[in-house]
Structure 1
Amino acid sequence: MANPAILTVDDDPAVSRAVARDVRRRYGDRYRVVRAESGDSALDALREIKLRGEQVAVMLADYRMPHMNGIQFLEQAMEFFPLARRVLLTAYADTDAAIDAINLVDLDHYLLKPWNPPEEKLYPVVDALLDAWLATPDTAVPETRVIGNRWSAPSFAVRDFLARNLVPYRWLLTDDPEAARLLAAAGLSEADVPVVVTPDGKSLVKPTEADLAAHVGLSTTPASEFYDVAVVGAGPAGLGAAVYGASEGLRTVLVEQRATGGQAGQSSRIENYLGFPNGVSGAQLTDRARRQALRFGAELLTTREVIGLEGGGTTTRLLRFGDGTAIAAHTVVLATGVSYRRLDAPGLDELTGRGVFYGSAATEAPGCTDQEIYIVGGANSAGQAAVYFSHYARRVHILVRGDDLNRSMSRYLIDQIKEIPNIEVHPHTAVVRGEGAEHLERLTLCDSRTGTTRTVETSWLFVFIGAEPRTDWLDDVIARDQHGFVITGPDLLAEGRRPAGWTLPRDPYHLESSMPGVFAAGDVRADSVKRVASAVGEGAMAVSLIHRYLEAQ
């Protein structure tokens, strides 16, 4: 982080240089001296410092400047750095104005010019001001800051993307004084949010995910045009394939449309994963796997949508991206996972991201403090979310269509939920309507046994239902079942016959799809076990089969 700044502003170039010289001589080893020759240029400097998340300790401004005098400058400068100490440089004839400024801009001191020798007239004053500033410093640090509205779907999308990609950020509502200062520094207004201010001071207005990825250090451009294995999807299966592929010397690229981790990455606590007796969050597990893959030399591309797969010959497979570019590889691992199914009830679609969320949306947990929240779903992901949100919410309501949670939730989670007093399970209950203006305000629930409905007041609904494979882009390319899951291995052998278009003299390997050299792993594969451990195992197994495939070519 850069040293805190001491800003000097004087319109007389000779005086400006003299002030900066004297200040730098004494404080240059601990502070960065910034010199300006007008109020406007000084404000520009402050805006840049503010956007970079750096600090200003002291500002020294000459009173007599054209267009904007020192008092006017300091008054505006307070909007950016209210804790910086303020000094007015003035001639004897202007002491009355300086005294008035003590009340107007909370002036800390005024200095009469000239101040020679500085050891007697300048340095003691600045020393005292720096000591005072160090006692109550500006807490600004270089970081990614997100400014937005509480009930805004675009604002939520930005925060969710950063959180799921493990990018630390600070969330500021538009009515926060710090948000107002940052918007002013960037020359923006509340109408421009969401705004992301990057650690290097750039302001991104309503950024796309690709914009965010590029500015927070995520790789979006492939380093090569050809790989041994291209993995599509960075959930547990894709990360497992990337770790094992790269560790075994294969040129490996991992392509992800949104964020590493998939649905597992959103889990607040995974307690049945081998080797973690105290449990591990999805984010922690994802981060460790991602760093492990990168350490072995795998390449990770984020915000790249794969829209097509082609067989480019007997030993080449081509992946086409949404922007028209493509990469080639000897083999491909399909690990695109599944998405939560949309809840089909009037009023919910338009409230998505504004009280209605698909997945755990852990970024919203602090906002649920002392609130009533509703969770739809009876599988492990819903149970993990309920336990997590119970630490914040006044009450967590789990809505399930069946009799209880036994059908689809692990016993350890069911037992936990029974022991948490502020979690309540509602069997035979479905959401049939959502209502609200700026955000979700109420839900209509229906008891499937009696058909009776009731309305509940809430601003929070989290949905964990069904599983839809992300395979639409594989139409007419890869064999899939009626639900869209990729069919692999022996399941492709209908009545002992190999799949149409199969060109090899052998049967498909266990995880191999109907296109030779293209494998499927994890939840996207038909009849797979929907567990994190099995997904990781299939990712590793796919690499073993890839070796067999490559050796036979």
Structure 2
Amino acid sequence: MGAPAIVIASTHHTTELGEAFARYEREYDVRMATDEATAKACAKELLTTGHQVALFVVDSDQDQDRLYQLIGGTRQAVPTARRLIVTHVSRFREDNQTFRHAVAAGKVDALLLMPQGPRDEEFHLAVGELLNEWNATVATPVVENVRIIAPEKDGLTRDLLDYLARVGMPAGVHHPDSEVGREVMASCPEDEGRWPVVSSLAGWCGHCPDVRSLANQLYGRPDDIDVDEVVDLVVVGAGPAGLAASVYASSEGLTTVCLEAEAIGGQAGTSSMIRNYLGFPRGISGMRLAQRARGQALRFGTRFFTGWPATGISRCADGDHHVVHTDGGDVHARTVLVSTGVDYRRLGVESLEELVGRGVYYGAAMAAARELAGDHVVVVGGGNSAGQAAIHAARFASSVTIVARRPDLTATMSSYLINEIEWNPRITVRPCTRVVDGGPDDVGQLAWLDMEDVDTGAQERVEARGLFLLLGAAPECGWLPDTVLRDERGFVLTGRDVPTEHWVDGVPPEELATTVPGIFAGGDIRAGSMKRVASATGEGASVVSSVHTWLGQ
């Protein structure tokens, strides 16, 4: 297989576009087509010879009907490729009106003004983002930071791959008898027979029994959390709210520690593409957003401890600050932000619980989607996470069905996602439906599902090789003391949602303050939150002013 291709279709601007894309020729196979027929023939040749197509660049200088046919054809032929429309400056205002709906519906990934000369870095920044996302979600890694050796991709192996995808670390799975497998096992023969074996470029190699062990190997496992001072703020949970609080608190000089039980980014880190986040007109994956925020917080001095979930919180002996407990040690802090987010609710179907990791997944499981090319996939859920998971899966699967109990998606999903789902010919929505049963094939992988109409009780059996369950919020705060009040569903109460008998002198706590002075809550864990990345980020940023107020008392 040769280098991934960039196919450019232009009738009147081949010189300009050829010069602009010359910088990519070292690492991509750049092809120029001057008409629709040539572009189709080029794409067909690439596919039949086993080449991957990373990007289609289509000039708007063609007949509009034929242009839409070309764009639709690229989507059918290579659904994993990114699609870019470029327009000459003389047509930009007109084309912006013509194609804005196509961009909003996901028919194309971006509309850009054609480069007007050399070093148009704004143009190349956008192209680089498209290629970057393609490489992260589709391409086989050229350099594998982590190699997993296993005879088969069992549930644990897939969990390891999913974790590595969430933290942005390229990885590959190899059979023990492969060339790579034999090379790795030669470095750690004592672990042969205990699968999977994991090796990294950092030099360590050995059997990996669970995801937490992998996290400890990647980020280091201190015997004790090394914080020997009373810090200003400890953030529990590194989702969008926790990351925003870490950035703003540490940038304002507050000593800040962030504890994360799993992967930086939380559930948001599993989103394949967030298109409505402020400042990213072409969208950004949850993983990249989280890793950028982590780097930003590190720059200002936040200390991160990954792989150590909080197990409790108490007052110190003299009562002047809080102590957050973990299995790796305690962190003493004057204030605490609880931003542990939520987990997905379990489906509760025993036959499917037994297939978790073998075609059944809780969450988006982006790495697993690649393995479902040509298969039928079912996504259960009606929120934005479910919509994003379905769109990502449709790049690989032959068909995707979104199953929701509600009559439609409008009450729980953003309009831009609904529009993109309605346009995508590979995705269908089954409202008023639930999954009630499922079973495996001869090798133990998911093979079929039973769907039930919630109104009539009628059932239908469908063939499915993948089931992604994004069933809504189950709060992660069982470690909190009872003095931190929660609502009937377990979400933390803050501000005016706190019962009046817990107000002080008739005044409610501050908006993000809990019933325990000095403990705040933000993001999805908070009762009444919007369950959106942007709102969680805003809460994480705004809580810092309340922390300042508390510290100043």
Fold shared by both chains (TM-score > 0.5): yes
Q: Residue 255 of structure 1 is aligned with which of 221, 240, 259?
A: 259
Instruction: Name the SS of the counterpart of 1:191 in structure 2.
Output: coil
CA deviation map 1:463-519 (0-9, x unaligned)? 11120010111142311111110001122242xx335xx7x9964221111110000
By how many angstroms is 1:542 displaced?
A: 1.0
> In the alignment, which residue of structure 1 is the partner of 2:14?
none
Given that 1:219 and 1:301 are in contact with CA atoms closer than 8 Å, whether structure 2 keeps it comes out as no
The alignment status of 1:222 with 2:225, answered yes or no, reads yes
In 2, distance between residues paired with 1:251 and 1:438?
50
> In the alignment, which residue of structure 2 is the partner of 1:530?
531
Q: Match for 1:547: what amino acid?
A: H
Given that 1:481 and 1:526 are in contact with CA atoms closer than 8 Å, whether structure 2 keeps it comes out as yes
- Cα 1:372–1:327 change in 2 (3 A) is same
Q: Residue 444 of structure 1 is aligned with which of 433, 445, 450?
A: 450
Given that 2:162 and 2:367 are in contact with CA atoms closer than 8 Å, whether structure 1 keeps it comes out as yes
Instruction: Name the SS of the counterpart of 1:339 in structure 2.
Output: strand
CA deviation map 1:496-548 (0-9, x unaligned)? x335xx7x996422111111000000110011111111101111111110000
> In the alignment, which residue of structure 2 is the partner of 1:334?
338
In 2, distance between residues paired with 1:175 and 1:404?
49
Q: How does 1:427-506 map to 2 (within 5 A)?
A: 427-436=431-440, 438-494=444-500, 497-498=501-502
The alignment status of 1:303 with 2:304, answered yes or no, reads no
Given that 1:198 and 1:215 are in contact with CA atoms closer than 8 Å, whether structure 2 keeps it comes out as no
In 2, distance between residues paired with 1:379 and 1:200?
39
> In the alignment, which residue of structure 2 is the partner of 1:244?
248
In 2, distance between residues paired with 1:301 and 1:334?
15
By how many angstroms is 1:146 displaced?
A: 1.2
Instruction: Name the SS of the counterpart of 2:249 in structure 1.
Output: helix
In 2, distance between residues paired with 1:545 and 1:140?
47
Instruction: Name the SS of the counterpart of 2:512 in structure 1.
Output: coil
Q: Match for 1:372: what amino acid?
A: H
Given that 2:360 and 2:466 are in contact with CA atoms closer than 8 Å, whether structure 1 keeps it comes out as yes
Q: Match for 1:265: what amino acid?
A: G
- Cα 1:408–1:215 change in 2 (3 A) is same
Instruction: Name the SS of the counterpart of 2:193 in structure 1.
Output: helix
Given that 1:237 and 1:335 are in contact with CA atoms closer than 8 Å, whether structure 2 keeps it comes out as yes
In 1, distance between residues paired with 2:245 and 2:220?
20
> In the alignment, which residue of structure 2 is the partner of 1:166?
168
In 1, distance between residues paired with 2:453 and 2:332?
53
Aligned pair count?
408
Given that 2:523 and 2:537 are in contact with CA atoms closer than 8 Å, whether structure 1 keeps it comes out as yes
Q: Give unpaired runs (5+ residues) of structure 2.
A: 1-140
In 2, distance between residues paired with 1:219 and 1:534?
33
Query: RMSD in angstroms over aligned alpha carbons?
Result: 2.2
Instruction: Name the SS of the counterpart of 2:350 in structure 1.
Output: coil
Q: How does 1:47-446 map to 2 (within 5 A)?
A: 143-174=145-176, 176-187=178-189, 191-217=193-219, 222-225=225-228, 226-312=230-316, 313-323=318-328, 325-436=329-440, 438-446=444-452
- Cα 1:424–1:490 change in 2 (3 A) is same
- Cα 1:440–1:177 change in 2 (3 A) is farther
Given that 1:196 and 1:207 are in contact with CA atoms closer than 8 Å, whether structure 2 keeps it comes out as no
Q: How much identity, in percent, do the aligned residues show?
A: 41
Given that 1:486 and 1:524 are in contact with CA atoms closer than 8 Å, whether structure 2 keeps it comes out as yes
Given that 2:191 and 2:197 are in contact with CA atoms closer than 8 Å, whether structure 1 keeps it comes out as no
In 2, distance between residues paired with 1:428 and 1:211?
41
- Cα 1:513–1:270 change in 2 (3 A) is same
Instruction: Name the SS of the counterpart of 1:286 in structure 2.
Output: helix
Q: Give the TM-score, by structure 1 length.
A: 0.70
In 1, distance between residues paired with 2:529 and 2:515?
17
Which region of structure 1 is more displaced relative to structure 2, 161-170 or 517-526? 161-170
In 2, distance between residues paired with 1:149 and 1:281?
31
By how many angstroms is 1:351 displaced?
A: 1.1
Q: Match for 2:510: what amino acid?
A: Y
When Rg is computed on C-alpha atoms for both structures, the one with the higher figure is: 1
Given that 1:309 and 1:477 are in contact with CA atoms closer than 8 Å, whether structure 2 keeps it comes out as no
Given that 1:219 and 1:300 are in contact with CA atoms closer than 8 Å, whether structure 2 keeps it comes out as no
Given that 2:219 and 2:306 are in contact with CA atoms closer than 8 Å, whether structure 1 keeps it comes out as no
In 2, distance between residues paired with 1:175 and 1:349?
32
- Cα 1:141–1:234 change in 2 (3 A) is closer
Which region of structure 1 is more displaced relative to structure 2, 182-191 or 514-523? 182-191
